[in-house]
Amino acid sequence: MVAAALALPGVAPAQTGPGPALVGVRVLNYHDWQPGLDRIRVNSPALILQTPVGDRWGVETALTTDSVSGASPRYHSAVSGASRMHDRRRAGDLRITRYDERSSWSLGMAGSNENDFRSRALSAQGSWSTPDNNRTWTAGIGHRLDRIGSVNAPALDERRRTLELAAGVTQALSRRDLIQFGITHANGHGYYSDPYKLPDLRPDSRRQTSATVRWHHHLEGWDTTLRASYRLYGDSFGIRSHTATLEPVVALAPGVTLAPSVRLYSQGAASFYYNPVRAYSGVPTPPGYFDGPPVPLSADQRLSAFGALTIGLRLAVEFGDGWQADIRIERYEQRSAWHLRGQGSRGIDPFSASFVQWGLVRRF
């Protein structure tokens, strides 16, 4: 949530006022699966409100609830008969922003509740522009406190604290080109293990750093804007990842845009990740585990080495009188063999997911 609150603004000119009032509804449907296994389904409606307060202040808030059901792996790609689950998450955030002639300053708070997880966050962000508004600087700070439990172990009550910093700059190179560079760093301490994937013992701290470059180029003759980005990520778990995205936004008619997208992703495995070997006990423990288990260790496939491809399509339509609707469809495919350097981690089933998100907004 803090990451969202501190997200650098899109590659666009600096905003000098709170803008119009806005009310919107967004609905996300998510589904993932592996061969022979229908895994997780999520339905997530959200209500978004934005209103100016005078000429210099703006208030934004969002409320959402997620209904999650399905089968979550206990470890690696394996699921037991007891792994069926259902959960509901309720979350909300609030941000208050002060707008000056060439700067803005905001304070935000966010919260999320589940059966076995609770999170609270505070954030602050500022942005300021040069007199010609061709360059905008952004900086932010946030703090998040998480409380982790487990429905399988009611006595579990752990904490995790995270401090996040973000900074960036957006520069207009020409009337057709905008470029943005941003860097974020998070330093967390506390409980990082997964209580549902045993054995799973992770370090009690995690440092995460990412650097992102975005470039927007407008093709006037084609009435199209090319959006490209690259992100480099690394953390103290030993994970290194690369993400490249390309999204051309095509104006089909006045008020109608179509945006196909492709995203390539590759990550290396955490330093304590192991490729499981199934033991007689049925748990895919590493070699020598029963003689003296190494610590830390994890067989969570999210910490493995793999590559992924996401293909998407977004259609947005403005109806006039402040109404706008959009729909985005995405398909995600993950394979160990798609790892950028070599074959990736062994023994993991292919992973697939689909996203469908639609929204309706009215500006006043």
Asked whether residue 349 is domain-assigned, the answer is yes
Q: 60-69 pLDDT, tens per residue?
A: 999 999 999 9
- List of residues 6+ apart from 81 with CB closer than 8 A: none
pLDDT of residue 277: 65
Asked whether residue 287 is domain-assigned, the answer is yes
Asked whether residue 109 is domain-assigned, the answer is yes
Asked whether residue 90 is domain-assigned, the answer is yes
Asked whether residue 35 is domain-assigned, the answer is no
pLDDT of residue 11: 45
Total number of domains in the chain? 1
Q: How confident is the model at residue 192 (pLDDT cuts 50, 70, 90)?
A: very high
Q: 276-306 pLDDT, tens per residue?
A: 765 545 666 776 777 777 789 998 889 999 9
Asked whether residue 67 is domain-assigned, the answer is no
**pLDDT(1) > 50:** no
Domain that holds residue 262: 2-17+86-363
**pLDDT(5) > 50:** no
d(CA 24, CA 61): 11
Q: 201-256 pLDDT, tens per residue?
A: 999 999 999 999 999 999 988 899 999 999 999 999 999 999 999 999 999 999 99
Contact 50, 63 (CB under 8 A): no
d(CA 33, CA 349): 10
* CATH code of 175's domain: 2.40.170.20
Asked whether residue 63 is domain-assigned, the answer is no
Asked whether residue 38 is domain-assigned, the answer is no
Pick from 161, 273, 244, 177: which is nearest to 217 by CA? 177
d(CA 225, CA 210): 25
pTM here? 0.90
**pLDDT(35) > 90:** no
